[in-house]
Structure 1
Amino acid sequence: MEWTFLPANEFKQYKKRWNELNQDNQNLAILNTEFIEPLLAYYFSDDALLAIGREQGAINCMLFLRKKAWGRWETIMPSQAPLCLMVTTHNHFTDELLQSLCKALPGVVIQLDFLQLDSKNLTLPNKQQYELSEYIITGNRPVPEIFDDYFKSLGKNLRQNYNKVINRAAKAEQQLDCYKVDTPEDVVQGVKTYAEIEAKSWKADLGTAIEPDNIQGKYYTEMMAKLAQKNQACVWYYTIDQQIVACDLCVIQNHTLIILKTTFDDAYSKSSPALQMKVDMLRYYAEHPQEGIHNIEFFGKAMEWHKRLDSELRPINHLTWYPINFLLAFIKLFKKLNS
């Protein structure tokens, strides 16, 4: 494979091929150019590179890289990106791809890190010159064909707690509702609503909350608007007496809805609005197959409630490739001697 390295801001001219590789392989909204271009604008530094791999003249691999230290390179991983920003034919990590990339990078390369790789349908190299380390366990929940059968299969505590919220609301004459919006205008407003709720949460105290005018707010507003224009974004709300108490920002592609961000109003935590909303979302998509959503992905760290919803769990891994044959064995020996 022959490689070309360009400043990341030249990505625009390769958008068409990037989307083709994504659609032919992982086919995820979070690897669409509408998701990535705002990342480039708000989070990439000047040293970011776009690596383009060609075989017989055809582009078969693209990824974003930066030099981490002498001899060490890594894929660029903004915290807003759930997975490695890389597209390649058949989602294969071949020995030839990795060796040729290390050889083509400027200077000596002793280590190349690929961060946050989805283990789903990932083909690993044949040579044992790599090391896998678990980043997180994540989960997805296929949309059930018959919701009532699915709900009956869930744990007794979850079912009781779900029904308890509904019964308590009925007794208090409160109106519960769960619905989505998906027009570009409503989605942009949804990001603002999300920010207003998160501004009252513990994330605000840490300085990590989305705010309408901070970098995160601008990124999510632009990205969600771009995808909403292609009918690939929506915002889910959970309301109590028409007061929005929980909010999910979601993107869609290939029959898969990805929940990017979840927040809820702490004042209503007794009603577990975020979990109630997830159950109602599953009900909605099960009862509305015309929506075409067959799977819900979380991509964040699997929490207890993911397991309670009977989600399918799998690891997201980091992969470190050592182009020099003996280096991995030396590192393992060094770690063993120092353990």
Structure 2
Amino acid sequence: MSTRYPWTVERLDLNSNELLPDDWQRLNQRCCGAHPLLSADFFTALLRHFPGEDVYLAALHDRELPIAMALLTPLTAMRWALYHPSQAPLGPILLDSSQVDPDRALADLLDTLPGQTLQLDLTQLDPTFFPVAFDSNRVERIHYVTTMAVSPEGSFETYLSNRPRKLRSNLRRYRRRLEEAGMQIELKCLTDPQAVAETVDEHGRLESSGWKGEIGTAMRPDNSQGRFYRDLMKDHAYEGKGWVYCLNVDGSIAATWLVIRGGGMISMLKTAYDESLAKYSVGRVLLVETLEELFKIDGVQSIEFYTNANADQLEWATDSRSIEHLNFYRHQAVQRSRAAARRANQVFRQIQAVWKRKP
């Protein structure tokens, strides 16, 4: 007889002072080493600034021990998904696969959700921290992006010497270009909470003045995205886990990196630069300066970027891996039909591309 896992699913009161229970962070600590982008603090800040209409907390315990938790929202009467604002690099689900079988647990979660749920969408999962490869005939795995990381093992000089020759040559060229223009550069690391908050606002102004401002996706001091990052970074700075690196050129901020830490991981959360200085590659100059500083911090095991890394960006990486979506279905037949439809759509697109190339 198969084991049934008794989930609880409760709608969150988004006006509550405490949105997530302590068990969320206990589980994150145990399963993910206190991952900063899966932390209770990170998702509480998201819920405050991007509350959504209906968000539910699903929780699975073995007596008092939390073994799985997720934030969910209904898409239709028969389809649910992770609560997932675009500001979240990873989907909010934690599961201790040493304590629970993922296939059985997710099947029982479908049974527990209100209504007759046929599909559960689990978005942007890092296989290092969620068991995406579990054995199941009801799951569909979809590649989302290739992300990158840097391991600070050893010295920064060794890391840099192992980068491709072209990258190292370009970094020297960027420096020389700034020197020839007579520009004075200075790296600053801001850790004071108020200074961090003010620099996040400046980061937003840099974004707004560039291409993100043109297409309407930039964070600004006066929009929800800007307020979210301001509060998140300021709160992390109070705990000594959030800081901002700035590259000043002739006394003015030219580029910024927003950085947070959890456990042995540093998350390179967000970057911006003054696009009027693009020919000087100030963003890349800041990145190499920032990495050199991060290599000096004790206890850091990984520097994670959680980005859709292109070939140029991967030259900086010591590790890369696929971030994946999982679609979990109540019935195998649904999984097969969806997978067949997806393959047919891919073939159709390939045929279209061939015909477009014909004279």
Q: TM-score, normalised by structure 1?
A: 0.92
1:69 positional shift: 1.5
Question: Which of the numbers 4, 7, 10 marks the counterpart of 1:6?
Answer: 10
**Alpha-carbon separation, structure 2, partners of 1:225 and 1:15:** 22
Q: How does 1:57-136 map to 2 (within 5 A)?
A: 57-90=64-97, 94-123=102-131, 124-136=133-145
Q: Structure 1 residues 307 and 330, CA, compared in 2 at 3 Å: closer, same or farther?
A: closer
The amino acid across from 1:210 in the alignment is M
Matching residue of 2:26 = 20
Q: Secondary structure at the match of 2:74?
A: strand
Q: Structure 1 residues 187 and 334, CA, compared in 2 at 3 Å: closer, same or farther?
A: closer
The amino acid across from 1:159 in the alignment is R
1:90 positional shift: 4.5
Q: Structure 1 residues 90 and 188, CA, compared in 2 at 3 Å: closer, same or farther?
A: farther
Residues 99-148 of structure 1 deviation map (CA, whole Å, 9 limit, x = unaligned): 11011111112111101101224323322210000111111111252222
Answering whether residue 37 of structure 2 is matched by residue 30 of structure 1, we say yes
Matching residue of 1:307 = 314
Q: Does the aligned pair in 1 maintain the 2:81–2:120 contact within 8 Å?
A: yes
Residues 48-80 of structure 1 deviation map (CA, whole Å, 9 limit, x = unaligned): 111122233533221111111131111111001
**Alpha-carbon separation, structure 2, partners of 1:93 and 1:262:** 38
Matching residue of 2:234 = 225
Matching residue of 2:352 = none
The amino acid across from 2:213 in the alignment is A
**Alpha-carbon separation, structure 2, partners of 1:255 and 1:190:** 25
Answering whether residue 55 of structure 2 is matched by residue 48 of structure 1, we say yes
**How many residues are treated as equivalent by the alignment?**
337
Residues 13-67 of structure 1 deviation map (CA, whole Å, 9 limit, x = unaligned): 6431111111111121112222111211121223111112223353322111111
Q: Structure 1 residues 206 and 93, CA, compared in 2 at 3 Å: closer, same or farther?
A: farther
1:172 positional shift: 3.4
Answering whether residue 199 of structure 2 is matched by residue 193 of structure 1, we say no
Q: Structure 1 residues 125 and 323, CA, compared in 2 at 3 Å: closer, same or farther?
A: farther
The amino acid across from 2:110 in the alignment is C
Q: Does the aligned pair in 2 maintain the 1:179–1:237 contact within 8 Å?
A: yes
Q: Secondary structure at the match of 2:136?
A: coil
Q: Does the aligned pair in 1 maintain the 2:148–2:305 contact within 8 Å?
A: yes
* CA RMSD after TM alignment: 2.1
Q: Secondary structure at the match of 1:260?
A: strand
**Alpha-carbon separation, structure 2, partners of 1:275 and 1:314:** 22
Q: Secondary structure at the match of 1:125?
A: coil
**Alpha-carbon separation, structure 2, partners of 1:317 and 1:88:** 16
Q: TM-score, normalised by structure 2?
A: 0.87
